[in-house]
Structure 1
Amino acid sequence: MKASSLRRWLPWLEWGRHYDRQTAAGDALAALIVTLLLIPQSLAYAMLAGLPPAAGLYASMLPLLAYALFGSSRTLAVGPVAVVSLMTAAALQPLFPAGSAEYAGAALLLALLSGGLLCGMALLRLGFIANFLSHPVISGFISGAALLIVLGQLAPLLGIAAAGATLGQLLPALARGLPVSHGPTLLLGVGCLVLLFWARRGLPPLLQRCGLDQAWAGNLSRAAPVLAMILATGAVWLWQLDERGVRVVGSIAAGLPAPSLPSLDLELARQLLPAALLISLVGFVESMAVAQTLAARRRQRIEPDSELLGLGAANLAAAFSGGLPVTGGIARSQVNFEAGARTPMAGVFSAVGIALGALLLAPLLQRLPQAALAAIIVVAVWGLIDLRGLARTWRYSRQDGAAQAATLAAVLLLGVETGIVLGVGLSLLLFLWRTSRPHIAVVGQVPGSEHFRNVERFQVIESPSVLSLRVDESLYFPNARYLEDRVAALVAARPQVRHLVLMCPGINLIDASALESLEAIAERLRAAGVQLHLSEVKGPVMDQLGRSDFLQRFGGQVFVSHYQALRQLDPLSTRRALQAGR
């Protein structure tokens, strides 16, 4: 294997050559801050997934090491995230009781399947597949999932039992439980919410007045969940609130995860495969969006296929170490970047910090109230709800806005898996609908120039004997028949036309269906006494046409420029247009 190819699949060979003490110090400092954020989030997201809290800690150790070996992003922070945890719960809760051994085993199998799919896509170089998930669909999905997460966490905040995977299940359950809310639990939960929301806005200015710069103040404020955990646990211990009905995390297995092989139940794997595929795609898209944004700020490059391999390896590591499906986190990655992380070694240092936390803090977390973890989840996902983005998308494009709104509604009303499938399907249908009716403009010559523009938008001069059509879309099977109908209608309305020239600067592809349509168009025009010509055809498209006999059979010419076509086919009209501009 060539050295360049090896470095592509093992990026640490590149950044590892230049690793020094200064870089290590920056990575270690960033890891300290990220660890403070990751410990409470890991516990909270494990609870969101319906798993024991320790699973969140385990998913934040070996997966970080695996990603550091294969991932191409220097600053992406991998671990449990809210949306993937919700999708994990949605996939497993219909099959097993949450918290059971079967449930935990299925979560490991789900991580194994997700990791295998991601690694398989990496080996097949399918990084481009993320392009099939449009931004409006992903935005609608994430907003809908975040709303479901917030509503789902109201139950532990209120101290009641209420569960559901959709809006129709959650709202009635919450309404029934509201009259019997547990006062101390509610007080604890609201207190944590107030503290965490205040920390986002009020704490940074306070820290800046104490002498910290803006970046450090912002990073430390994001570690406020640790303070909320300490205060909430202290309150439970001081006033014995667990004996008064406040639900706590309970016993957390101390120590490091023992490597183990997930149960390979083929029937269960078949049931989980669709969910694993969705988790893989959503996690990959979310990670790529974050990684590319942060890499652009340092003029670095992200390799999609390397990211697939890195995330796949991280999920495989989670499967073999008692974790749950993982991906790159938005908030953690932003903190990691702003805290000065330079390489994935920051993730390795964070894994060490989490391991120390699992060894030393497990006994101290037994009285951590579930309401505090629910508050941490609510504040973490609150920023993911982007209803204003839906309004912006709707104003710009009704079709994209409809896809985003439909995805959001489907997630809320039908569930996360159905929502994302419906959103992707709708976006693909909208793409096919848009491209099935390509923009086809009749163009004329701009007076005094060699340029051609749409006759409906500009004052131009048309040739009476040459019809000039500009096609602004690639030609393939959904729009081939539309082109035939459009050409037939335009020629029928212009009986004096003797030549039709298709301008092709916007055509990047002509598939077999479109080629047959061009042949049919040429034959029908010839029968009507009109000759078909092409102009400004791109090189790759000419190569395609050259592999057929169309260029020899259609009888017309292929012109380098449209001006050349008009000058040869109707020189009088061309001269008149040039003189009109003087």
Structure 2
Amino acid sequence: MGRQGGGAGAGPDRAVVGRTRGGVGRAAVAARGRGGHRGGCGARAVTGGSSSSQAWGHRRGTSRDVVAGLSVALLIIPQSMAYAELAGLPSVHGLYASAVPLLAAGLLAYCPYLQTGPVALTALLTHGALVTIAVPGSSEYVGAAALLALVVGLTRLVIGFIAAGKVTYLMSQPVLRGFTSGASILILLSQFPSTLGMAGASESGLVGRTLQVLGSPGSWSLAAAVLTVLTVAATLLARRIHVLFPGALVAVIGGVLFAVLFDYGGPVVGEIPGSFPPFSLVLPWEFLPQLVVPGAVIAFVGFAESTAIARSFATQDRVTWNPDREFVSQGAANVASGLFGGMPVDGSFSRSSLNHLSGAQSRWSGAVTGLAVLVFLPFAGVLSSLPRAVLAGIVIAAVAGLVKPRLLVSVWRLSRIQALVVWFTLTMCLLLAPRIEQALLLGILVSLAIHVWRERRAGFHSRVEGDVLHLEVIGILWFASAPRLEEAIMARLARANDVSEVVIHLEGLGRIDLTGALVLKRVVEELGGSGIPATLTGVPPQARELIDNVFGMFPHKSL
């Protein structure tokens, strides 16, 4: 029976038509899961069959989206509350960021599996951006978080609309690995106060609070520590039991029951307004100049994770995906989060994987998740007794796997220069906390500087055939390497006294910029002035127009 899976995408859909046997279409590609075809990130599988068969397949796909969306909702509710606390916000604002923003993302998303919402790294960046301009938890802080989400959203919308989504590829893996590892360590350290029942630690700064907590063992709460350990265990063990088992939700329910039944005296979430997200344009606009750079950093760094998620699923389904479309959908989600009292949001790998494995068929699964959170909000007050130690356990379970000591060591064996980039970025994260976006920018600058340094030379080989000197240029001929190449060529010519002609081979060049072309012209002119004719050969196709324009009417042989 033909089955149809709905996928979201811009541009033409990808059709897959199989052989027909007895008038019934059969797809030529194997479906993931039990029956039905998933369209992948922006693609759609279309099969033959009767209209009733297709309608049945559509209903089947819709039901799978509902199941997947509700499954993710069971995870995002506790996670979003935990990440809001990590960002320095009342936990309800994590729920706000998981409701309307997901509806907005669902309308525009390209990849059907990508689940949006609060994530740990973005929460830490949010805290770093806001902690210097407002008191965490205050109304000013809450408003600044919404304004920051608006900045992130508008930045992503602009990038998506001008089709510059691939700009995220400029961030090298060593920089991202170092930054992610450093941020993960900071996130784990930030959970010490809640883990040990000292959420009211007075020291400012992450290091100061951590030292204060570790130096005050008499103030530790055994109950809080046990709750954190049990939450981590429940969350991790749930993954082994079944991918759909809501370990975090079980931990939350257990934590609330424990707090109520045993009169838990440690820090709890506190009062949660039982209402829908409030729409507001009344934001602390005076903070806007201070949030532009952090907002841009979050827009790019957070999207790097969304990019990795979408590309991973696209590779699995053997389809293409559109980063510009995802920039737009993620931008719309952040704008919605800013307008409805939320915080910056991004794609979540854990929730997207759960969405995929739960049988999601289209982008509407994310909208179902947002709708489920929206329905839950009026009843969120039941979680007011939830110990913060439980939220700390949820964060620890989510982030612990991101710290990979073996990887940090093994990169040294792969490339020592790139290992320095990793460790430099990681170290800067720890030293510059909470303003870790500065560490990322420094890591990018160091990475670019190393790239420029390594590409500053264009190599060349020379050989003499009779009285003709052949020079083979290799690499990239650009402003950083062209002057050194000119010096090397002229030095080689000075040693070739019996040469009557020079042939410069350019087949080995990957790119030539204007400075490189001008240097080539100058070399040819100087040789011509010395009575030695020079020929350029093998000019790369992408550089022919540039070379022709630079040389102009200067007489030289065919390129």
Which TM-score bucket, shorter chain as reference?
0.7 to 0.9
Query: Deviation per CA, 1:166-194, whole angstroms, max 9, x where unpaired?
Result: 77445433333344212221222222223
Alignment match, 1:290: 309
Secondary structure of 1:474's counterpart equals: strand
Which letter does structure 2 place at the counterpart of 1:331?
S
- State the alpha-carbon separation in 2 of the partners of residues 165 and 303 from structure 1: 43
Change (3 A) 1:355 1:498: same
Q: How far does residue 32 in structure 1 lie from its aligned partner after superposition? A: 2.1
Picking from 502, 510, 515, the partner of 1:513 is: 515
User: In 1, Cα distance between the equivalents of 2:474 and 2:357?
Assistant: 43
User: In structure 1, how many angstroms separate the alpha carbons of the residues matched to 2:545 and 2:192?
Assistant: 61
**Cα deviation, residue 13, structure 1:** 11
Instruction: Give the match for residue 419 of structure 1.
Output: 439
The number of aligned residues is 513
Q: CA deviation at 1:372?
A: 0.5
1:255 equivalent in alignment to 2:279 = no
In structure 2, what is the equivalent of residue 234 of structure 1? 257
How do 1:32-431 residues align onto structure 2 when only pairs under 5 Å count?
Answer: 32-160=70-198, 161-162=200-201, 168-200=207-239, 203-204=240-241, 217=242, 219-221=243-245, 223-241=246-264, 245-263=265-283, 265=285, 267-360=286-379, 362-415=380-433, 416-431=436-451
Q: Which amino acid aligns with 2:556?
A: G
**Cα contact 1:393–1:401 (8 A) shared by 2:** yes
Bigger drift between 152-161 and 504-513 goes to: 504-513
> 1 CA distance for matches of 2:343 and 2:420?
33
* Equivalent-residue separation in structure 1 for 2:462 and 2:60 (angstroms): 62
- 1:217-256 CA-to-partner distances (Å, cap 9, x unmatched) read 2x124x2111111112211111111xxx311111111121
Greater helix proportion: 1
Amino acid at match of 2:244: L
Residues 365-410 of structure 1, C-alpha deviation per residue, up to 9 Å, x if partnerless? 1111100000100110111223333333332222222111111110
User: 2:66 maps to which residue?
Assistant: 28
Q: Distance in 1 between matches of 2:193 and 2:11?
A: 47
- Contact 2:143–2:283 (CA under 8 A) maintained in structure 1: yes
Q: Distance in 1 between matches of 2:389 and 2:138?
A: 21
Aligned counterparts of 2:209 and 2:485: Cα–Cα separation in 1: 50
Cα distance in 1 between the residues matched to 2:332 and 2:190? 31
Unaligned runs of 5+ in 2: 1-8, 14-38, 47-53
Please list, as runs of the form range in 1=range in 2, the aligned pairs for 1:488-507 lying within 5 A after superposition: 488-507=490-509
Q: Which residue is equivalent to 2:556? A: 555
Secondary structure class of the residue paired with 1:417: helix
Q: In the superposition, relative to structure 1, how do residues 262 and 421 fare at CA in structure 2: closer, same or farther (>3 Å)?
A: farther
Do the aligned partners of residues 144 and 252 (structure 1) sit closer, same or farther apart at CA in structure 2, a change above 3 Å counting? Answer: same
Alpha-carbon distance between aligned partners in 2 of 1:47 and 1:487, rounded to the nearest angstrom:
62
State the alpha-carbon separation in 2 of the partners of residues 193 and 262 from structure 1.
39
- The answer (yes or no) to whether the contact 1:167–1:413 under 8 Å persists in 2 is no
CA deviation after TM superposition for structure 1 residue 557, in Å: 4.3
Q: SS in structure 2 opposite 1:20?
A: helix
Q: State the one-letter code of the partner of 2:235.
A: L
Residue 61 of structure 2 aligns to a residue whose secondary structure is helix
| Cα pair distance change 1:13/1:512, threshold 3 Å | closer
Q: Which runs of 5+ in 1 are unaligned?
A: 1-5, 205-216, 445-461, 559-582
Contact 2:486 2:519 in 1 (8 A): yes
> Normalized against structure 2, the TM-score is what?
0.86
| 1:94 partner amino acid | T
Deviations 1:39-82 (A, max 9, x none): 11111001111111111111111111111222211211000000
Q: For residues 519-541 of structure 1, what are the alpha-carbon distances to aligned partners after superposition, in whole Å with 9 as ceiling and x for unaligned?
A: 22223333455433222222221
Give the TM-score, by structure 1 length: 0.83
2:257 is paired with a residue of what secondary structure? helix
Cα separation, partners in 2 of 1:16 and 1:240, compared to 1, 3 Å:
farther
Query: Which stretch shifts more, 133-142 or 530-539?
Result: 530-539
Question: Aligned equivalents of 1:39 and 1:353: distance in 2?
Answer: 10
1:487 partner amino acid: I
Identity %: 33
The alignment partner of 2:523 has SS state of: helix
What CA deviation, in whole Å up to 9, does each residue of 1:118-160 have, x standing for no partner? 1112222221221221111111111110110001101100112
Partners of 2:496 and 2:411 lie apart in 1 by 40
CA pair 430-167 structure 1, distance change in 2 beyond 3 A: farther
The alignment yields a C-alpha RMSD, in angstroms, of: 2.6
In 2, Cα distance between equivalents of 1:258 and 1:47:
19
Q: Decide which moves more: 8-17 or 409-418.
A: 8-17
Separation of aligned partners in 2, 1:175 and 1:549: 70
Check 1:375–1:530 CA distance in 2 against 1; reply closer, same or farther (3 A cut).
farther
After superposition, the C-alpha distances for 1:542-573 in whole angstroms (9 at most, x for unaligned) are: 122222335x4263442xxxxxxxxxxxxxxx
- Could you tell me how far apart the structure 2 residues matched to 1:278 and 1:136 are? 17
CA contact (8 A) 1:288 1:304 kept: yes
How far off is 1:489 after superposition?
A: 2.7
**Separation in 1, partners of 2:401, 2:505:** 47
- Amino acid in structure 1 at the alignment position of 2:454: R
Deviation at 1:258, TM superposition (A): 2.5
Aligned equivalents of 2:405 and 2:487: distance in 1?
A: 41
Q: Distance in 1 between matches of 2:357 and 2:557?
A: 61
272-281 or 17-26: bigger deviation: 17-26
Question: In the TM superposition, what is the alpha-carbon distance from 1:286 to its structure 2 partner?
Answer: 1.4
Q: CA deviation at 1:443?
A: 6.1
Change (3 A) 1:534 1:78: same
Residues in 1 aligned to 2:309 and 2:227: alpha-carbon distance in whole angstroms: 33
CA contact (8 A) 1:232 1:372 kept: yes
Specify the code of the residue in structure 1 equivalent to 2:342.
Answer: G
- Distance in 2 (CA, whole Å) between partners of 1:94 and 1:194 is 35
Whether the 8 Å contact between 2:69 and 2:355 is mirrored in structure 1 is yes
Equivalent residue, structure 1, for 2:489: 487
Following superposition, the deviation at residue 351 of structure 1 comes to: 1.0
Over 3 Å counting, the alpha-carbon distance change for 1:163 and 1:479 in structure 2 is farther
In structure 2, what is the Cα distance between the partners aligned to 1:177 and 1:336?
42
Cα separation, 2, equivalents of 1:500 and 1:40: 72
